[in-house]
Amino acid sequence: MNVQARVTRRYRFCAAHRLHAQELSDDVNRKVFGKCNNLHGHGHNYTVLVTVKGDIDPQTGEVTDITRLDDLVNTKIVERFDHRHLNHDRAFQDVVTTGENLAKFIWDELVEEIPVGQLAKIGLIETRDNYFEYQSD
């Protein structure tokens, strides 16, 4: 009988962004996004929580290969965004850099490449008060 479990790994990066929707006027953007619409942007110390689910391997006792997962997330997410401005990344040229959109982007980047197991959830901590979660149903 297969026994399933979940494992969550935590990753961190620092990045700047500006909340601004191209299709909205500058006035509306200021009203909708407030101080987060600052022309020069603002920064966050992001924490990304990557949850993988799967069968517990009877030999290793693990759900996934942690070393390979760490390499994947560090290469595709942390190195790409750390000490960068998210609005300057090609992925966000036509997408507002909200936490919701960033969490979905991270999901899309990782979902097909999880080394063992299946991606279950992405959690994104942006501030003490802002936590975003994405999972595909």
Which domains are present in the chain?
A: 4-134 (3.30.479.10)
DSSP state of 87: G
Is residue 1 predicted with pLDDT exceeding 90? no
**Apex CA 8: angle with CA 13 and CA 46, to 5°?**
20
Specify whether the CB–CB gap between 123 and 103 falls below 8 A. Answer: yes
Does residue 85 carry a catalytic annotation? no
Does residue 36 carry a catalytic annotation? yes
Q: For 62-77, write each residue's pLDDT tens digit.
A: 999 999 999 999 999 9
Candidate list 44, 83, 85, 113, residue with the active-site label: 83
Backbone phi, psi, residue 3, to 5° = -110, 125
pLDDT band at 100 (very low <50, low <70, confident <90, very high): very high
Does residue 112 carry a catalytic annotation? no
Nearest to 11, CA basis, from 97, 76, 93, 91: 76
Candidate list 36, 62, 109, 133, residue with the active-site label: 36
105-123 average pLDDT score? 97
pLDDT of residue 110: 98
pLDDT band at 3 (very low <50, low <70, confident <90, very high): confident
Sequence-distant (≥ 6) Cβ neighbours of residue 127 within 8 angstroms: 44
pLDDT band at 96 (very low <50, low <70, confident <90, very high): very high
What does the mean pLDDT of the chain come to? Answer: 96
Per-residue b or e along 104-130, where b marks 16 or more CB atoms closer than 10 Å to that residue's CB = bbbbebbeeebebbebbbbbbbbeeee
Candidate list 17, 20, 44, 126, residue with the active-site label: 126
